[in-house]
Amino acid sequence: MGDLRDKANFDILEGFLSAVLQKEVSIIEILESESNVPEMEHKLNRVDILVQDQQKQYVIIEIQNGHVTAYLERILFRVTTRARRRAKRNCKKNA
């Protein structure tokens, strides 16, 4: 199976996400991916994906394989960090 981060394979991932979300989405970019494999029993894989739906709304989707504590706190931190970076970029563009 090919690497799902490869744009040539986005159609597979888009089909999966569209089925799960029950609406059509298009992948804009893979934002981050992370894998730790020090021990197989504690293996964790995570990927953040920026998608756009048919209403032109952007959504960040995190897919993970593994147990993570403090999930909601981590998501809140990561979303606010990304929003802050995007706002800074927009301010620099408009300056």
pLDDT tens digits, one per residue of 32-63:
776 645 555 556 677 889 999 999 999 989 88
The residue written with tokens 């089909």 in the block is 15
Report the alpha-carbon distance of residue 24 to residue 1 in Å, rounded: 23
Structural domains in the chain (count): 1
Q: What is the pLDDT of residues 8-35, one digit of tens each?
A: 778 888 999 999 999 999 999 888 776 6
Distance of CA 92 to the CA centre of its chain: 25
Instruction: Look at residues 39, 40, 47, 36 and name the one whose alpha carbon lies nearest to residue 78.
Output: 47
Domain that holds residue 89: 7-94
Instruction: Give me 34's structure tokens.
Output: 């992370």
Q: How many CB atoms lie within 10 A of CB 13?
A: 20
